[in-house]
Chains A and B, each alone.
Chain A
């Protein structure tokens, strides 16, 4: 069997990061949210706009129909605690004399660190 292309049953698929989604691509596997609920079903015709939306929803990559072109390097995005604090402090800059806002800032900081850590 040597020398033959790998034989695959079913759909030929490749995994791509959501920012590489192009119009008319076909989803090869369903996409689930972190809670396990289905966001998109297999066979959905994708579009760039939908790719943006998936990104907004925290989905990193999807399987689409088609042959693998290049090996995909995994890109992992992590935010350091310092970066997160800087980002939030900038957003909250004008509100820090409000004790409620301080409480919200701290809770959001804790929450986002916990989320990014998993």
Chain B
């Protein structure tokens, strides 16, 4: 059954794709001789995307309100990898915003806020514990439940029954999905991140955010997203389709050293990050 679900998805030709500029950027950034102008040129070939990128870098979210006028300027100030993350974020938002209708028990506005808040919370945790790139953690959190969008759009009957099962049996959505059709939104989202050729530090948090284990690569990033998902559910930022909260993995608690973390300060900083992410409120 699980295989069947993945095969169904594999055969859907209209499944969302990332703009080709992302792949070009990845290739350009692998070459140390690439100049800011070349990267700028690659981005501006997609005018709509370029203007969104400028809007983002000039928002409170990236901390340069209204001061960056061109893509090349942005690269000089923010660096290649941040700009690439901004382009990726903008592209993902475009995909999220065009995903049609929700359904009973799965409101797209609520889901959207759950995703943004999870991204913001991931960034806040990364900031507090240090050592990981904040913008990348934001993206990982933002896309962690991507599989739900795919289910909602391409397998609506299966998804509807999982939502119902989860509400009636007070189970987490991924548990109901596993039970009803043998696969989960984490696997399906993970499959999409592979198809998009995203780096494994973005693939793995999507795949394992409900089953984090130090045995998988990029465990720190996955641990952050696992914890962020729990915190934003507790704070009721949006709604990802189920009413309960998963239990924090003990290993995640250890690897984030949750015993010595100042949770009050963390919750404040999550709120501040969510506020900054409100630039996405006008995303169209």
Contact = CB atoms under 8 A, between A and B. Distances in A.
Interface of A: 33-35, 37, 39-40, 44, 49-50, 52-54, 56-57, 88, 90-95, 98, 100-101, 103-105, 107-108, 110-112, 115
Given A40-B281, A104-B234, A53 B109 contact: yes
A53 B281 CA distance: 7
B146 interface: no
28 contacts: A33-B275, A35-B272, A35-B275, A37-B60, A39-B278, A39-B282, A40-B282, A53-B112, A53-B281, A56-B109, A56-B113, A90-B243, A91-B234, A92-B245, A94-B247, A95-B248, A98-B247, A98-B248, A98-B250, A100-B250, A100-B258, A101-B245, A101-B248, A107-B264, A107-B267, A108-B234, A111-B264, A111-B267
A104 B109 CA distance: 26
B281 A100 contact: no
Contacts, number: 83
A37 B60 CA distance: 8
Nearest to B256: A100
A44 to B, nearest CB: 7
Q: How large is the interface on B (under 10, 10 to 19, 20 to 34, 35 or more residues)?
A: 20 to 34
Given A56-B113, A98-B248, A37 B264 contact: no
B233 interface: yes
Nearest to A54: B281
B234 A92 contact: yes
A51 B278 CA distance: 14
B173 to A, nearest CB: 14
B264 A57 contact: no
Contacts of A53: 109, 112-113, 281
Interface string B211-242: 00000000000000000001101110110000
A108 B235 contact: yes
Among B234, B250, B258, B263, residue most surrounded by chain A Cβ atoms (within 10 Å): B234
B94 interface: no
Given A100-B253, A100-B258, A108-B234, A37 B263 contact: no
